[in-house]
Amino acid sequence: MFCRLLSLLVAGAVLAAMPVWAESPPLSEATLSCLGCHEDLHPGMVEGWRASRHARITPGQAMQTTGLASKISSTDIPSGLQDTSVGCAECHTLRPDAHADTFDHFGYQVHVVVSPEDCATCHATERKQYGQNIMAHAYGNLVDNAVYADLRTSINGVLQPGEKQLSAKAPNNATKAESCLYCHGTKLRFDGLASKDTAYGPVMLPEIAGWPNQGSGRINLDGSKGSCAVCHTRHRFSMAEARKPYTCKECHVGPDVPAYKVYTASKHGTIYSAENNDWDFSAVPWEAGTDFRAPTCAACHISLVTKPGGTVVAERTHALSPRLPWRIFGLPYAHPQPKDPQTSKIKNAAGLPLPTNLDGSPASDFLISAEEQDKRKGNLQAVCLSCHTQSWVDGHWQRFENTIEVTNEATATGTGLLAQAWENDLAEGLPQNSSIFDEYIENVWSDIWLIHCNHIRFASAIGGGGDYGVFADGRYVLNRRLREMHDWVESRLPQQ
Amino acid sequence: MFCRLLSLLVAGAVLAAMPVWAESPPLSEATLSCLGCHEDLHPGMVEGWRASRHARITPGQAMQTTGLASKISSTDIPSGLQDTSVGCAECHTLRPDAHADTFDHFGYQVHVVVSPEDCATCHATERKQYGQNIMAHAYGNLVDNAVYADLRTSINGVLQPGEKQLSAKAPNNATKAESCLYCHGTKLRFDGLASKDTAYGPVMLPEIAGWPNQGSGRINLDGSKGSCAVCHTRHRFSMAEARKPYTCKECHVGPDVPAYKVYTASKHGTIYSAENNDWDFSAVPWEAGTDFRAPTCAACHISLVTKPGGTVVAERTHALSPRLPWRIFGLPYAHPQPKDPQTSKIKNAAGLPLPTNLDGSPASDFLISAEEQDKRKGNLQAVCLSCHTQSWVDGHWQRFENTIEVTNEATATGTGLLAQAWENDLAEGLPQNSSIFDEYIENVWSDIWLIHCNHIRFASAIGGGGDYGVFADGRYVLNRRLREMHDWVESRLPQQ
Amino acid sequence: MFCRLLSLLVAGAVLAAMPVWAESPPLSEATLSCLGCHEDLHPGMVEGWRASRHARITPGQAMQTTGLASKISSTDIPSGLQDTSVGCAECHTLRPDAHADTFDHFGYQVHVVVSPEDCATCHATERKQYGQNIMAHAYGNLVDNAVYADLRTSINGVLQPGEKQLSAKAPNNATKAESCLYCHGTKLRFDGLASKDTAYGPVMLPEIAGWPNQGSGRINLDGSKGSCAVCHTRHRFSMAEARKPYTCKECHVGPDVPAYKVYTASKHGTIYSAENNDWDFSAVPWEAGTDFRAPTCAACHISLVTKPGGTVVAERTHALSPRLPWRIFGLPYAHPQPKDPQTSKIKNAAGLPLPTNLDGSPASDFLISAEEQDKRKGNLQAVCLSCHTQSWVDGHWQRFENTIEVTNEATATGTGLLAQAWENDLAEGLPQNSSIFDEYIENVWSDIWLIHCNHIRFASAIGGGGDYGVFADGRYVLNRRLREMHDWVESRLPQQ
């Protein structure tokens, strides 16, 4: 409290001497109209925006910054947008014909759901890169994959009493939207206008199925994929926020992909937690050593990172793939990243839409080559080398690739036990043309790779080891679960 | 370190120009006596208080602030208390006749345990509201409920070898005090005075069974219920602290009520974590948008929240219930909130002290009506609407109520499996007049609603979905546990 | 962002008036040579150091501070090191003959791995104390203990299909290094020089097996044990960082030793999280009440803590043992701390290297006496008494020792169930001269003490109770797992 008071007192003194850009730029007439009501209706929304860069600088001013410090990548921003701040109307009335939810709102053609294509008006490069990001395709990658469809029903289905097994009542849309699709994104659908009671009386507003949602692969009402707000939350759209690890945590904290947990228990995370209040998360470019002393998720995989003098360490990429050689979660076996971000097209030798066969061998035609992996490894390790020697980095990497190998071996052992259960009719799966996720023993099997092998790999990749690879859902639990599978099969096999 | 240094240097310059109230007000003679020894004995205690508002302003000064900014609600503060700061003696010698632990301490009639009735001297409204808070009744609600008694023995009992089942040795008071009663509150009992060795030699001091404890429903030595220090920790008693989510975490982090975990992985929690250092947690009233950009637990359920202009969004309530339509944890089925905060009075159709029947149908006589639920929903959603449109809020709520429904269905399926086990004498429960919590299969059943359905509901309510509703103890695990129950029953049923 | 800007603006004004010591001291010629290349190669490393006290003050200047504020304990620092800052060369060229990895690097005799013996040049007392710390012996305590060897193979072995049980393929060194040895420390081995490609062309550099590693008991290339960087991370070596709880989290977050989790859900942790931005983590000595309002791990177990006037509350100890009466994790039963930090020398009555017998009775010859426990309790409680009364502290401690007793009882019950399984040949263990960790039921048994009893004890010790002692892997789960063991044994015993 005392500190805040000081800040305020100091702020008073300093504000008088603020540089010119701190004076708010002009607002468009349309945005002024929006604010007329919405400032009173939803002040949180408006104040978030008011604290944003969007409110404090015009695209025209932003375009004057070029080179590494540039925060805007389009060179063809319409002149009508260049001289006012980026306010409500600038985004919510863009490209009205493209959006199915465009409606007449007090004389303005407004759409509710702003899409990456709208953002591309000023941020064309980022939008294009994001289109190559596997996360932008998260909806289709999940929904159009038959194996995942089986898994999703197994998870989201409402179990009912059944004969040999419990039966799963298909999940409804509300359940789907807050389960897998919360992160993967929903498919939005415009269902017409309807009158809503508001503080200003009844107003005709769009009904949108699948709304709200900010999933990374949301199917928008202009047909585009993704939501920039998944990382840059509305209406501040902050780069600083996206560079902090909490952003990624939202979808990468669960036991299937424990990146955040592992990070905060790593040396990098320790340093981040202890010191991040003194770092600069808004600097562009982001200088290793001076702006931050330990990397966050963004530093390793996304951000434009330079050395203090300005030498580029890593180019900014909203595709992420240039700094991702291996895919280490979500599937039975770790494997090289897919070539195409649309992964439902993949077929393994058995014809299943999986990037490996059930014995772990890769469906290589669909995966990047060793050469491409090496290139990406180089891109990623360039960040490591900002603070570590090559020997250090090599030692880390050798352990990580060993861990990919041994966790794949563990999955193969578990898969063998499940096959034994199927072959002896202790459970029904592939040989019986039945679900591979709807019985207890099958769920133990999926725990093995989806939870435990993933923990071990993330602990290795992000932490260089530690408890999430051992007791915290790691090797200790992996081996207990494998023994449980063995025990289960053994005790049910006919006595010989 | 550099930042701190700056702060200190700046502080020096600024302190000279501090407003009048920053001069510490006079201390009472009694408090000066206390400080004479205790400042040296327990400096942490004294320095915490010294940084508090209690030390820096008198009740008389505080009463001059009226309206929304008021931090004190009593209008009849005794004149003898109005002109000194609220020091040691002001609280610890109040109402000496009411406290069983009042003792003569160097000439002062001191009691150790300050109760909400003491705090009510200045904070009458908050104390009255807290009396209506279900948390104030947490001791009796647990201890006077026969079903919970069974559960508590199942949890806290020290298991011993037994014949058909392990037997539970009843837990002792020390175990109870640090287990369930840590949060629910202990029942304090004055056991007379005894001589204690202290740094100042032997002193006669009260012996208090059940001490220390700061549980929300503590039974105090003046017969009152609760502890204000459960959220406003001693001796700073900070509003800012209570508004941060860590406060609630202490009792709402565990898998039975994973509110904090879910919050920090939500968009609100992401924004909080990334930006809270720049927010004002001490402002009264608390302005949405300017003082904070994302709500904390307190913003949604407790605090006086206004729009920037001062329009009230939500009234302050220490009862919480005005902003709680549903009860989503701690019981087999989610249900409307109880009418009376003393829940051990509830009886379902079978005569059990539960708010629903075993099939999930509500014990409606004891629960709030749909109309009251709607009113509370309105109070709560007013906070949402500060930053979100009505369409957004409606979409969120529709999913939340769907989730209540489908998780209740899952509990019904699990309860059916348990009933099947009981009916076939695979386990002993209600039909056998035996404990429903003392066998393995019964514990798997309680996991289903107490752990997994709760995770799914909290993820829905607080996060709008996400991993705590799926892989992180959510639907994925719920269905695996249900299949485990099915497997367990199936493998033990006599072969037909 | 706005706050940062203010800081920067203010900083500019203030820097002009900085005290003399803020001028960087001279660098040695050797360190200047290092910086010539490494500043460009690894700026993160260099900037971390530049922000450190090592860069900003010379040992000679530091020696002028005496008494409680001293940060340096050696009195015989070589004069050649006293007048330059502690730069790259000062540490990495110390004692060249002692280090197996010393190599000629552009004319300098450099070693890669700096050891506690190097740090002892200036910090002799801390190094000596750390040598008495059980953590310094963590490598040998694990590797030289036959019971732990069995456990390690059980955890890290790569399970393969097997006959009666799955068989474990021995883990390779890469796995070991990122599993248990990540925290315990690896044994480093110099494998000669090899040419490495670097940004400056090929350079001959040491190959070091077991590198990188910062484990607490690392066996260094000069034969010494430990790594100061385990808590004071490279190259800032910050005291403030080590005083924050994140440091300890790295190795004390997992379910086997859930100290950090329990702390953050305790009242102390709540206060820390809410207020730590306003505390002073760099002050020496560390004043209770003024520098911090709630203790961190370091405040209770390590740091020099004083009252505001300077009276010593607790002496600094890098041994930790003076403030640790009980050992509450990592072994089947809690017990008094071992006398000798090298615990692999312990033998129980059965000849096993364990500090208790399988019935829980202590191997007393190897453990500290009740008198020593009392002395350590006094050292530890002195910190508690800075903020709490003796009655409060006594109540806390009585519950903690009760919890040690009842969790030991629970372990005895579980051990009895396992013995029953062994005796009836349902599993193979001690009677069969077989591993006690390689079957499912044995893993459930180890969960009981390694996970659940530990949670309960940590929740008691650090939090005074709460959810980690109940639902969050505590009593609730402990009793469920014991019932699972009973169920497993019962269902496999021959029908009578």
Is the Cβ pair C487, B439 closer than 8 Å?
yes
What is the pLDDT at residue B162? 85
What is the pLDDT at residue A21? 45
Q: Give the C-alpha separation, A316 to A304, whole Å.
A: 4
Q: Give the C-alpha separation, C477 to C475, whole Å.
A: 5
pLDDT in tens, B423-454: 999 999 999 999 999 999 999 999 999 999 99
pLDDT in tens, A387-446: 999 999 999 999 999 999 999 999 999 999 999 999 999 999 999 999 999 999 999 999
Q: What's the half-sphere exposure (Cβ side, CA atoms, 13 Å) at A94?
A: 21
What is the pLDDT at residue B496? 57
Which residues of C are less than 8 Å from B238 in CB distance?
Answer: 274
Side chain identity at residue A1, one-letter code: M
What is the pLDDT at residue B163? 79
Residue C126 has which token pair? 């801390």
Closest A-chain CA to B462: A178
CB atoms within 10 A of CB A135: 23
Is the Cβ pair A392, C254 closer than 8 Å?
no
Which residues of A are less than 8 Å from C250 in CB distance?
Answer: 265-267, 270, 466
Q: Does the CA dihedral B58-B59-B64-B66 come out positive or negative?
A: positive
pLDDT in tens, C79-133: 999 999 999 999 999 999 999 999 999 999 999 999 999 999 999 999 999 999 9
pLDDT band at B12 (very low <50, low <70, confident <90, very high): very low
User: Under a CB-based contact definition with an 8 Å cutoff, are residues A149 and A143 in contact?
Assistant: yes
Closest B-chain CA to A249: B265
Is the Cβ pair A3, C277 closer than 8 Å?
yes
Task: Return averaged pLDDT per consecutive 10 residues of chain C, 496 residues in all.
Answer: 38 37 83 96 96 97 96 96 98 98 98 98 98 98 97 97 90 98 98 91 95 98 98 98 98 95 98 98 97 98 96 98 97 98 96 95 97 98 96 97 98 98 97 97 98 98 97 98 97 83
User: Under a CB-based contact definition with an 8 Å cutoff, are residues A117 and A98 in contact?
Assistant: yes
Closest C-chain CA to A240: C1
Which residues of C are less than 8 Å from A398 in CB distance?
Answer: 174
Give all strands (DSSP E) within B37-170, no chain letters: 103-105, 108-110, 158-160, 167-169
For A221, A291, A351, C206, the CA distances from A389, given in Å and listed in that order, are: 48, 20, 44, 12
User: In 3D, which of C236, C227, C29 has the Cα closest to residue C112?
Assistant: C227
User: Under a CB-based contact definition with an 8 Å cutoff, are residues C376 and C322 in contact?
Assistant: yes
pLDDT in tens, B453-492: 999 999 999 999 999 999 999 999 999 999 999 999 999 9
Looking at the DSSP assignment, which residues form a beta bridge with residue A104? A109
If you search the block for the tokens 């019986």, which residue do you land on? Answer: A432
Say whether A155 sits in a helix, a strand or coil: helix
Percent of chain B topping pLDDT 90: 92
Is the Cβ pair A270, C233 closer than 8 Å?
yes
Closest B-chain CA to A212: B392
Q: Give the C-alpha separation, A407 to A387, whole Å.
A: 29
Looking at the DSSP assignment, which residues form a beta bridge with residue C103? C110
What is the pLDDT at residue C496? 57
**Residue among C6, C174, C443 minimizing CB distance to A10:** C6
User: Under a CB-based contact definition with an 8 Å cutoff, are residues A324 and A301 in contact?
Assistant: yes
Closest B-chain CA to A47: B289
Looking at the DSSP assignment, which residues form a beta bridge with residue A286? A305
What is the pLDDT at residue A197? 87
For C141, C159, C176, C189, the CA distances from C149, given in Å and listed in that order, are: 10, 16, 12, 21
Q: Give the C-alpha separation, C424 to C435, whole Å.
A: 16
**Residue among A7, A288, A471 minimizing CB distance to C44:** A288
**Residue among B392, B403, B460 minimizing CB distance to A212:** B392
Say whether C320 sits in a helix, a strand or coil: coil
pLDDT in tens, A42-64: 999 999 999 999 999 999 999 99
User: Under a CB-based contact definition with an 8 Å cutoff, are residues A121 and A92 in contact?
Assistant: no
What is the pLDDT at residue A22? 53
pLDDT band at B2 (very low <50, low <70, confident <90, very high): very low
Is the Cβ pair B3, A166 closer than 8 Å?
no
Kindly report whether the peptide bond that precedes residue A212 is cis, defined as omega within 30 degrees of 0: yes
Q: What is the radius of gyration, based on Cα positions, of chain B?
A: 25
**Phi–psi pair at B358, nearest 5 degrees:** -70, -15
**Angle A2-15/C2-15 helices, nearest 10 degrees?**
80
Please state the rounded mean pLDDT for residues B383-396: 96
Which residues of C are less than 8 Å from B4 in CB distance?
Answer: 280, 282
Which residues of B are less than 8 Å from C274 in CB distance?
Answer: 238, 240-241, 244, 246-247
Which residues of A are less than 8 Å from B445 in CB distance?
Answer: none
**Phi–psi pair at A285, nearest 5 degrees:** -70, 175
pLDDT in tens, A150-190: 999 999 999 999 878 899 999 999 999 999 999 999 999 99
Closest A-chain CA to B238: A1
pLDDT band at A4 (very low <50, low <70, confident <90, very high): very low
Q: Give the C-alpha separation, A72 to A56, whole Å.
A: 14
User: In 3D, which of B99, B119, B121, B101 has the Cα closest to residue B223?
Assistant: B99
Does the pLDDT of residue A217 top 80, yes or no? yes
Chain B closest CA to A325's CA: distance in Å? 25
Residue to substitute from A49, A142, A158, A280, interface B, most B β-carbons within 10 A? A158
Side chain identity at residue C33, one-letter code: S
Is the Cβ pair A467, C256 closer than 8 Å?
yes
Residue B10 has which token pair? 């700046």
Q: Does the CA dihedral B439-B441-B446-B447 come out positive or negative?
A: positive
For A151, B101, B123, the CA distances from B225, given in Å and listed in that order, are: 49, 16, 15
- Residues 6 or more apart whose Cβ sits within 8 Å of residue A23: none
Q: What's the half-sphere exposure (Cβ side, CA atoms, 13 Å) at B389?
A: 17
Q: Give the C-alpha separation, B173 to B192, whole Å.
A: 18
CB atoms within 10 A of CB B358: 20
Is the Cβ pair C271, B492 closer than 8 Å?
no
* ipTM of the complex model: 0.94
**Residue among C10, C289, C491 minimizing CB distance to B46:** C289
Are β-strands C305-306 and C286-287 bridged in parallel, bridged antiparallel, or unpaired? parallel
**Phi–psi pair at A312, nearest 5 degrees:** -75, 125
The set of chains that have 3 or more CB pairs under 8 A with B is A, C
Chain C closest CA to B444's CA: distance in Å? 8
- Residues 6 or more apart whose Cβ sits within 8 Å of residue C391: B112, B196, B205, B206, B207, B208, B211
**Residue among B207, B440, B450 minimizing CB distance to C484:** B440
Torsion of CA C77, C81, C87, C93, to 10 degrees: -90
Q: Is C381 exposed, middle or buried (0-12, 13-18, 19+ CB in 10 A)?
A: buried
Q: Is B371 exposed, middle or buried (0-12, 13-18, 19+ CB in 10 A)?
A: exposed
User: Under a CB-based contact definition with an 8 Å cutoff, are residues C303 and C240 in contact?
Assistant: no
Which residues of C are less than 8 Å from B154 in CB distance?
Answer: 479
The three-point CA angle C410-C414-C419 to 5° equals: 145
If you search the block for the tokens 């759209």, which residue do you land on? Answer: A237
User: Under a CB-based contact definition with an 8 Å cutoff, are residues B358 and B449 in contact?
Assistant: no
Residue B357 has which token pair? 């029947």
Say whether A249 sits in a helix, a strand or coil: helix
Chain C closest CA to B7's CA: distance in Å? 9
User: In 3D, which of C394, C377, C385, C381 has the Cα closest to residue C337?
Assistant: C377
Write the Ramachandran bin of C166: left for phi over 0, alpha for psi from -120 to 50, otherwise beta.
Answer: beta
Q: Give the C-alpha separation, A179 to A148, whole Å.
A: 14
Is the Cβ pair B250, C267 closer than 8 Å?
yes
- Residues 6 or more apart whose Cβ sits within 8 Å of residue B212: C388, C392, C395, C396, C464
